[in-house]
Amino acid sequence: MIHAILLYEDNKLLRESVCSLLGMADEYEIKGAFADCSLVEKQVALHNPDVILMDIDMPGVNGIEAVKKIRAFNQSAQIIMLTVFDDSEHVFNALRAGANGYLLKKDISDKLIDSIDEILTGGAPMSPVIARMVINSMQQQQKVRDNYKLTRREGDVLHLLSKGNSVKMIANALGVSIDTVRTHTKNIYDKLHVNSQTEAVSKALNEKLV
Amino acid sequence: MIHAILLYEDNKLLRESVCSLLGMADEYEIKGAFADCSLVEKQVALHNPDVILMDIDMPGVNGIEAVKKIRAFNQSAQIIMLTVFDDSEHVFNALRAGANGYLLKKDISDKLIDSIDEILTGGAPMSPVIARMVINSMQQQQKVRDNYKLTRREGDVLHLLSKGNSVKMIANALGVSIDTVRTHTKNIYDKLHVNSQTEAVSKALNEKLV
DNA sequence: TTGTAAATACCCAAAAAGGGTGAGTTTTTT
DNA sequence: AAAAAACTCACCCTTTTTGGGTATTTACAA
């Protein structure tokens, strides 16, 4: 089966080199190669591509915005970002917007074909350094966790608080008096250096304490 | 440079096949191959490996616990999980615990060597299906976001609430009266179907609304 | 055995939040 | 220009939360 591909890349040289790279593989067909995203919705709707290769930094509509526009009506196209940006801001915004893979331009010649294969079989191709960033972002969260030395019971209370439970509900759930829960929350406030339920929950969730 | 590797895998057959696989590459040296993690701390401390290959499902201490133990004193070893589990529970727990890569056993023969290379150069090797899960988990979060139709001001208020600010602080920050902020919070409660600050913050943070 | 930490519970007073209503002003949309 | 939506503010009343204490029982460790 031949897979349809759309390419968005404002740099003419790179656009053409990607085209010729893919031209050599006869299981792919480039249905279009565009220098900007002004008509991205129509183009995607028209060609219904299997894979979209999307630059981020383009004049007019940038690639991340384009991804959002595409995802508003199409969830099936597989989108790989092709870009020079390896900062977390760009990476996470692109992935959150709905991109399925993220290749740095320096890896294109090496890995583009493999990445397209991979994305079509359900994978999520990423440049190694990008993959590491994604993993790191998950781990950073965890690290803060062990630093407050909550007791088991305090942990229970904070957990329930973070689920949106009121003190009354927690007392009921744990089978203790409201005042007991209050004592625990006070101790939690001390340990987290906060002084309200909302702040505790905010800190707990923002730092993945629960 | 020769890289030191430790292997934890309770299945004898697989353990030996990984050993022989790595034995063929002369830039790696398996310093130890163990069937359980009971002595993992001592072994890691002793051999100070560059890479640790870790099964999840092992008798006694499981691989995820082992990773936590290792990370308590060693951040430099690169840890790749080798497992059959491709459910999000196992994957995310392992990655959060501090694993740097996650290979499904079915991909070992194909990708183990590549993955070790990749992890040593700062990448985060993952089986394609795992990479996709990680990406998906970032996107899922985003999806819920657009469903509550908060006004701009309500969004501001919810954002500040989620940072742990009190109503008083928010009123001050936005330069409006306390009652105004209270009105906004009440409207937010209606839209989120909650009825307390804590619940709103919980929902906002758990569903990545902010 | 004697501390010490944890979990439990209670009291009081002040502050904040929750729920409701009404209403004027500004912005946006049509 | 008119209508709709958003933003603003104020007041009422009730419930919850917070901050400051004190105190008992259990459990585990020095």
Average of per-residue pLDDT across B177-190: 89
Instruction: State the nearest Cα–Cα gap between A130 and chain B, in angstroms.
Output: 8
pLDDT band, very low/low/confident/very high, at B172 (cuts 50, 70, 90): confident
Q: What is the mean pLDDT of chain A?
A: 83
Average of per-residue pLDDT across A137-159: 64
Give rounded-to-5 percent helix, strand, coil for chain A: 55, 15, 30
CB contact under 8 A, B194 and A97: no
CB of B195 within 7 Å of some strand D atom:
no
Beta pairing partners, A48: none
Number of neighbouring beta carbons within 10 Å of residue A54: 25
Question: What order of strands is seen across the sheet that includes strand A101-104?
Answer: A28-34, A3-8, A51-55, A78-83, A101-104
pLDDT of B209 above 70: no
Helices and strands, counts by H and E, chain B: 10, 5
- Res A25: pLDDT: 84
**Least-confidence region, from A2-16, A46-60, B3-17, B149-163:** B149-163
Tokens of A123: 């994978």
For the domain spanning B3-131, the CATH number is: 3.40.50.2300
A130 or B4: which leads in pLDDT: B4
pLDDT in tens, B85-125: 887 778 877 887 788 889 989 899 888 999 999 899 888 88
Q: Which residue of B has its CA nearest to A197?
A: B198
Of B140, B65, B51, B80, give the one whose Cα is nearest residue A75. Answer: B140
- Res A134: pLDDT: 66
Tell the residue number behind the tokens 């509900």, with chain if given. Answer: A169
Instruction: State the nearest Cα–Cα gap between B9 and chain A, in angstroms.
Output: 23
pTM: 0.54
Q: Which residue of B has its CA nearest to A116?
A: B128
CB contact under 8 A, A198 and B161: yes
pLDDT in tens, A66-115: 888 888 778 889 999 998 887 777 887 788 778 888 998 888 988 899 99
**Least-confidence region, from A36-50, A62-76, B38-52, B145-159:** B145-159
pLDDT band, very low/low/confident/very high, at B139 (cuts 50, 70, 90): low
- Res A208: pLDDT: 58
- Res A201: pLDDT: 87
pLDDT of B136 above 70: no
- Res B140: pLDDT: 54
**Least-confidence region, from A137-141, A157-161, A195-199, B4-8:** A137-141
pLDDT of B142 above 50: no
- Res A33: pLDDT: 93
**Least-confidence region, from B11-25, B105-119, B123-137:** B123-137
Q: Which residue of B has its CA nearest to A159?
A: B202
pLDDT in tens, B55-86: 988 887 788 888 888 887 888 899 999 988 88
What is the phi/psi pair of residue B102, to 5°?
Answer: -150, 105
The DSSP element (H or E) to which B32 belongs, if any, is strand B28-34
- Res B168: pLDDT: 87
Q: What Å value separates CA B163 and C1' D4?
A: 32
**Least-confidence region, from A91-105, A129-143, B37-51, B154-168:** A129-143
- Report domain extents, chain B: 3-131, 149-206
Q: Which nucleotide lies at the shortest CA–C1' distance from A198?
A: D17
Q: What Å value separates CA A203 and C1' C13?
A: 28
- Res B134: pLDDT: 67
- Residue B77 makes CB contacts below 8 A (sequence gap 6+) with B44, B48, B49, B50, B51, B52, B70
A95 or A139: which leads in pLDDT: A95
pLDDT band, very low/low/confident/very high, at A138 (cuts 50, 70, 90): low
- Res B202: pLDDT: 86
CB of A197 within 7 Å of some strand D atom:
yes
pLDDT of A209 above 70: no
Protein fold of A149-206: Arc Repressor Mutant, subunit A (1.10.10)
pLDDT band, very low/low/confident/very high, at A193 (cuts 50, 70, 90): confident
- Res A144: pLDDT: 40
For residue A139, list chain B residues with Cβ-Cβ distance below 8 A.
95-96, 98
For residue B127, list chain A residues with Cβ-Cβ distance below 8 A.
123
CA distances from B21 to A34, B2, B18, B25, B30 (A): 45, 16, 5, 7, 11
Protein contacts on strand D: list nucleotides below 7 Å from a Cβ. 5-11, 16-23
Q: What is the mean pLDDT of chain B?
A: 84
Average of per-residue pLDDT across B192-209: 81
pLDDT in tens, A145-155: 445 777 778 87
pLDDT of B133 above 50: yes
